[in-house]
Amino acid sequence: MRNKKKLNYYSTNPDFFAEELENFNEFKTEPKDQNLEVWIDKHRAGKTAIIIKKFIGTKEDLKDLAKKLKTHCGVGGSVKNGEIIIQGNVRDKIMDILKQDGYNYKRVGG
């Protein structure tokens, strides 16, 4: 189990309650409310990567989605700067998985 850090909040508003903000970070966004962008990126030496941008949610949810996509496609990848990077040209498989899970997505580039 993870240790939760106690955060300090400062405000000049006399009606400010920090308890409201503590629950703000624990929101859960439904897949149908997401508007993901699925990019294709070609690197040096002809390597191809798929980048999924504009995910809204916690880092854990982002990592879970990345793990699911990598597992179903049988490829490697990583999560950096709020984006999922999947190795290889598997954009069609990724879009099928996102569609099955109910995500809204847009095919961008290439």
Give pTM, 2 decimals. Answer: 0.72
**Residue 38 β-bridge partners:** 52, 107
Residue of 53, 63, 59 whose CA lies nearest to 25: 59
For position 103, what pLDDT does the model report? 94
Q: Encode pLDDT of 23-64 as tens digits.
A: 555 556 788 888 999 999 987 788 899 999 999 888 999 999
For position 18, what pLDDT does the model report? 57
Q: Encode pLDDT of 74-98 as tens digits.
A: 999 999 999 999 999 999 999 999 9
Question: What topology is assigned to 28-108 in CATH?
Answer: Translation Initiation Factor Eif1 (3.30.780)
Question: In the predicted model, is pLDDT for residue 5 greater than 60?
Answer: no
User: Where do we find the tokens 């939760």?
Assistant: 4
Q: Is the dihedral of CA 104, 35, 65, 24 positive or negative?
A: negative
Strand 77-80, strand 48-53: pairing: unpaired
For position 85, what pLDDT does the model report? 95
